[in-house]
Amino acid sequence: MQTALRTILPETEFGSRANFAPHARVAREERPTQISGLPLGIRGLRKSYGDNEVLRGIDLHIPSGQFVAIVGKSGCGKSTLLRLIAGLEKSDAGSVSFGDEIQAEDIRVMFQEPRLLPWARVLSNVEVGLGRDRSSTDAHVRAEKALAEVGLADKRDQWPSVLSGGQKQRVALARALVSRPRVLAFDEPLGALDALTRISMQRLLERVWRDQGFTAILVTHDVAEAVALADRVLVIEEGRIAHDVVVNAGRPRERGSAELAGLEGSILNHLLSGDDRT
């Protein structure tokens, strides 16, 4: 019954926008310098699991601060590509390089599941994201700031189990943001959310990306989401980049505009064209 109410009244789920916009502004003013995103260079990347060749040579350059969405059918290798970029798995051949010396805290991943520690309060969960700075004296302050950015400052002392699915995912986003990453990889972060929560989360993702300027890589199966958020959409088919589509629409984007819908249609056609042949 709670979930039902939540779907009907998305604003109770998210707090009104007016509520968290001021926090975001504070965070923006206090940040000393804009940390720029990292450019990403991928050369000849290959990966197989046993006999199954998942990635068959990926070459890709992502300029710093770009928002790239990766779409494709399930099993096409898009998640594997993301895991290789994030360093969660080792490639068989090829390389992933960033333009700069990187630290572990510079790259963060957000998964489809929030993966919050159920035995830690919301604030401590966000502090986990600080990596080696976890024990520093300003850990609390930084975590609180990150929570405010996702509009959940008032939930700091709650257990994760009392939060809704969307709220948990926002805590996970705060945890990923708290170390000011320069590359943020999203592995279908909104896949498990209901339609309205998804749209609010997409807006939130776009806002923090514009505020912080990190390079964003979003793996999704939702083409509409890809064209709504990304500067560039990569279509992966059978372990290769089949199409590289630039989305020129200005921001903030209007959902359901004819331009985006047209783009979405043509990408979907690419994706589905294989099905007709077989």
Query: Does the protein bind another protein through residue 131 (CB under 8 A)?
Result: yes
Count of residues that bind another protein according to CB under 8 A: 23
Query: Does the protein bind another protein through residue 104 (CB under 8 A)?
Result: yes
Query: Does the protein bind another protein through residue 49 (CB under 8 A)?
Result: no
Q: Which of 190, 256, 215 is nearest to 68 (CA)?
A: 215
Q: Which two tokens stand for residue 138?
A: 């300003």
Q: 132-140: long-range contacts (C-beta < 8 A, 24 or more apart)?
A: 132/104, 132/105, 133/105, 133/179
Q: Parallel, antiparallel, or unpaired for β 107-110 and 232-237? A: unpaired
Residue span binding another protein (CB under 8 A) among the ranges 65-73, 116-124, 139-147, 250-258: 116-124
Closest separation between CB of residue 94 and another protein, Å?
22
Residue 146 and residue 163: Cα distance in Å, rounded?
A: 17
Query: Does the protein bind another protein through residue 194 (CB under 8 A)?
Result: no
Closest separation between CB of residue 84 and another protein, Å?
14
Q: Which residue has the tokens 């912080």?
A: 212
Cα distance from N-terminal residue to C-terminal residue, the chain = 44
Residue span binding another protein (CB under 8 A) among the ranges 44-52, 62-70, 157-165, 195-203: 157-165
Among 161, 246, 250, 278, binds another protein (CB under 8 A): 161
H or E element in which residue 45 lies: strand 40-49
CB nearer to another protein: give 9 or 272.
9
Query: Does the protein bind another protein through residue 88 (CB under 8 A)?
Result: yes
Closest separation between CB of residue 115 and another protein, Å?
4
CB nearer to another protein: give 45 or 176.
176
Residue 273 and residue 142: Cα distance in Å, rounded?
A: 48
Among 113, 211, 231, 259, binds another protein (CB under 8 A): 113
Q: Which two tokens stand for residue 240?
A: 């290769």
One-character DSSP codes across 235-252: EEETTEEEEEEE----SS
Closest separation between CB of residue 81 and another protein, Å?
17
Query: Does the protein bind another protein through residue 132 (CB under 8 A)?
Result: yes
Query: Does the protein bind another protein through residue 180 (CB under 8 A)?
Result: no
Query: Does the protein bind another protein through residue 209 (CB under 8 A)?
Result: no
Measured in whole angstroms, the distance separating CA 7 from the mean position of its chain's CA atoms is 23
Query: Quick check: 152 and 144 in contact, CB under 8 A?
Result: no
Residues 6 or more apart in contact with residue 269 via CB below 8 angstroms: none
Query: Does the protein bind another protein through residue 140 (CB under 8 A)?
Result: no
Query: Does the protein bind another protein through residue 111 (CB under 8 A)?
Result: yes
Query: Does the protein bind another protein through residue 63 (CB under 8 A)?
Result: no
Q: Which two tokens stand for residue 141?
A: 């302050």
Q: Could you list the residues that contact another protein (CB under 8 A)?
A: 1, 86, 88, 104-105, 108-109, 111, 113, 115, 117-120, 128-129, 131-132, 159-162, 175
